[in-house]
Each structure stands twice: as C-alpha cells, then as structure tokens.
Amino acid sequence: MSTKRSGAADRPAPEPARLGALEQQVMNILWADGPQSIREIIEKLPGEPAYTTIATVLRNLERKRMTSASRRRGSVRHRAVHDRDQYAAQLMQHALTTSGDRASSMLHFVEALSPTDIEVLRRYVTEHADDPPEQS
C-alpha cells in the first residue's frame, strides 16, 4: 500500500474530475489494462461505440487531466495519469473537505468499514503513528 500522509486536512482538496458513464468505462479499461489505442479501447467496450465518440471521450479525459496521449510509430496510446487508487483517494479527500463536518463524516465512514478494512486502517495507523505530518 503506497500512501502519503498529508498535513493538508485544513486545505480544500481540489475537486476531482467528474466522470460520465462512458468516461468511467474508458478509465476502467486504462486502469486495468494500461496504455491503449482507441481501437483497443473500442474492442473492450460494450456495443462497439464509434471511433469518433471514443476519440472525443479521450480528449475530454485529457482536458480533465485524467489521461495523456503519446505517439509511437504512428500509433497513439492513451494512458491514465493517476492510478485508480489515487483517484479514489482524491474523491474521498474532496468529500471530507466539503462535508461541513469532517470528523463526523470520517466517523460515519469508519463505522461502515468491514472488519478487514478496519484492520488495514489499524495497521497503517500503528505503523505510522510516530511519523511527522508532511509539510506543504
């Protein structure tokens, strides 16, 4: 588990990119399979969407800083800029900073965790209890 501690609890988290249904499907492919061409993405999507549709989705994802494109030997490959875990963490951080009551939101979240999740959290806190918070 690669995690960074942040002392930024008081600072508003930047709003993570909001993803539409098709954008989410494309991101799921990139997260699961790594860099892909538009054709490769189309092959993995249900319903065979048009090439231009996926090209537009990828342009939108690049504008949202979710993907980047690189050209190699006449082929363009699209990749996720952040991994799925980083994106999920951004969503959770944003939810906490905009909740109005950060402590209450965290406690409600922890109450909903499974015993396995609580053990992961407990282990992390124990291992990092003496670490100084990161300074920004």
pLDDT tens string 65-117 = 999 999 988 889 999 999 999 999 999 999 888 889 989 998 998 899 999 99
Kind and range of the H or E run holding 72: strand 67-72
Residues with Cβ within 8 Å of 70's Cβ and at least 6 positions away in sequence, in order, are 35, 76, 77, 79
pLDDT attached to residue 2: 47
Tokens for 59, please give them.
């342009």
Question: How far is it, in rounded angstroms, from Cα 121 to Cα 112?
Answer: 13
Structure confidence by residue, pLDDT tens digits, 46-63: 998 999 999 999 999 999
Share above pLDDT 90 across residues of the chain, in percent, rounded to a whole number = 64
Q: Is the pTM of this model over 0.85?
A: no
> How far lies 50's CA from each of 29, 39, 57, 75, 98, in Å?
17, 10, 11, 18, 37
Q: How far apart are CA 126 and CA 134, in angstroms?
A: 17
- The pLDDT tens digits for 20-35 are 999 999 999 999 999 9
State the pLDDT confidence band at 16, using cuts at 50, 70 and 90. Answer: confident
Residue 71 pairs in a beta bridge with 76
Which of the four pLDDT bands, split at 50, 70 and 90, describes residue 13?
Answer: low
